[in-house]
Amino acid sequence: MKIDLDEVEYISETALTIRGTRRRTTLPKVIVEKLGLKNGDKIRWIFFKNNSIMITQVERR
């Protein structure tokens, strides 16, 4: 996947926590604030055949 860095506003890395069957990842505070995410909001994970991932906010109803 090609990324136009002129279109990138923020880049960060987070750690994945795996305990038993539960897997957790933490969204950076900047992302939560910019998207205005609240408890219970949803994000969508899209996995591509080239092993890249896109994460998008699911619109509230």
- pLDDT tens over the chain, length 61 residues: 788 889 999 988 888 788 888 888 888 999 999 999 999 899 999 999 989 898 999 988 7
Predicted local confidence at residue 44, as pLDDT: 92
Give the C-alpha separation, 20 to 15, whole Å: 16
- Domain harbouring 27, CATH code: 2.10.260
For position 25, what pLDDT does the model report?
82
Please count the structural domains in the chain: 1
* Residue 4 tokens, joined: 């136009």
- Which range of residues forms the domain containing residue 50? 5-57
37 burial type by CB count under 10 A (0-12 exposed, 13-18 middle, 19+ buried): middle
Whole-model pTM: value is 0.69
